[in-house]
Chain A
């Protein structure tokens, strides 16, 4: 284990975020919010 607490620093954390289903829920809501803002403005 590394000093910084991560066990495998070679793993690409951006890829892990992008394959996390939890990530796409707020992204979808954000896009919906921007679209709503555009429609009502």
Chain B
């Protein structure tokens, strides 16, 4: 008995550095997600033809679909996905639901941008982080027993980020809002609510041990299915096909945007897993900052505009960084961590998932009963198939004639790749992508 207690106490003492390590990993994943989600906007800026927004969104989702199957196959192999689904089959429903939420939210943003402009729409849908805090608190014990300092750090940081985001969005908007402003406001708020709620399935999955790489493979069926249904119902099959054929020389750029977006989203998933949704969502919302950097430095947006505009951009960026710093310094304490574990136990019992499996996965490890993941012929086929499609589309792609500054682009690409390598290596060393 005594030795069991001593062993438990020793495990608790040893768990603390591991927990801290995972928190740092989650924060780093959130930053990396922001960089990659922001970079995903770059290829879409190359597309300036008259394709309907619904079709642009659909093509990007097709790129997302290819990436969501080929990347997990390359990193861990589909055997790992199959094993995860055997353990927690209920998560297929949750993943499909999350994918549907994403697709509807994305479509609403198209209407929001058209009706009220990016400057008002972006901060409105970025309110999703506030909703994420609410759902995290209500359903998953996040920020419970966290103390007022951490509450102030997370909530205050998120609010400061919202103000910074509003400043950046106003600065980056060059178009006056069109008519139907009330409709646009509703669309943007609706997108924020849908995106904020989408994180309930995310957190649910990670509290019952699912690997983010497995979750996204099913998520994408909901995403593609819902997006196709929306595009067909709003445009009709024949007009949709005609638009797709008309856009074949820009398919590559749009699908590349989707592919890059998936890399960002994968890191976002790891952030949601290791720091929770209350901290993970605001951290990955820094994508707006990166998107603006691409726009200003590489595509020459805001060129020769007044000094006050640049002050607005600098001010907004500083506020966003301040908010991110506050959230990053408010990582969960031991008491809050134990409340997370309570929520994980509750989920494990409800869905009949073995306790040791849930505990191991929460700790970024494989359970003792698990087999080591391996890649097979199917995985290489998926990787080769996705690569082939991208190569074929690249050969028919048209290089657009637009202002593009290679120097800043090389710097931003280098910074984004460094984040990928650093965070990817840390994820591999600490969790082997679990």
Contact = CB atoms under 8 A, between A and B. Distances in A.
Contact of B86 (A4, A22, A33): A4
B178 to A, nearest CB: 13
B160 to A, nearest CB: 26
Contacts of B104: 30, 33-34, 37
Interface in A6-41: 6-8, 11, 13-14, 16-17, 20, 22-23, 25-27, 29-30, 32-34, 36-37, 40-41
B92 to A, nearest CB: 9
A6 B193 CA distance: 34
Nearest to A4: B86
Interface stretch (B25-33, B273-281, B349-357): B349-357
B107 A37 contact: yes
Interface residues of A, number: 27
Contacts of A11: 352
Nearest to A34: B104
B101 interface: yes
A22 B200 contact: yes
A25 to B, nearest CB: 6
A5 B194 contact: no
Nearest to A31: B104
Given A22-B200, A33-B194, A1 B354 contact: yes
A26 B351 contact: no
A41 B111 contact: yes
B169 interface: no
Contacts of A34: 104
A5 B197 contact: no
B108 interface: yes
B108 A36 contact: yes
A40 B183 contact: yes
A7 B352 CA distance: 6
Contact of B353 (A6, A22, A23, A32): A6
Nearest to B351: A16
A23 B87 CA distance: 19
Contacts of B86: 4-6
B229 to A, nearest CB: 10
Contacts of B200: 22, 25-26
Contact of A5 (B87, B108, B350): B87
A26 B369 contact: no
Contacts of B89: 13
B201 interface: yes
Contacts of A36: 108, 186-187, 190
B233 to A, nearest CB: 10
B388 interface: no
Interface string B120-140: 000000000000000100010
A19 to B, nearest CB: 9
Contact of A32 (B190, B234, B369): B190
A25 B187 CA distance: 19
B354 A16 contact: no
B105 A26 contact: no
B93 A17 contact: yes
Contact of A40 (B97, B186, B201, B369): B186
Given A27-B97, A29-B101, A33-B193, A20 B350 contact: yes
A23 B351 CA distance: 13
A30 B194 contact: yes
A22 B139 contact: yes
Which 3 pairs between the two chains have the least Cβ-Cβ distance?
A: A5-B354, A33-B104, A4-B86
Interface of A: 1, 3-8, 11, 13-14, 16-17, 20, 22-23, 25-27, 29-30, 32-34, 36-37, 40-41
Interface of B: 83, 86-87, 89-90, 93-94, 97-98, 100-101, 104-105, 107-108, 111, 135, 139, 183, 186-187, 190, 193-194, 197-198, 200-201, 204, 230, 234, 350-354, 356-357, 367, 369-370
5 contacts: A4-B83, A7-B352, A17-B90, A17-B94, A23-B94
Given A1-B354, A5-B356, 10 more contacts: A3-B369, A5-B370, A8-B352, A13-B89, A16-B352, A22-B139, A25-B135, A25-B139, A26-B98, A37-B230
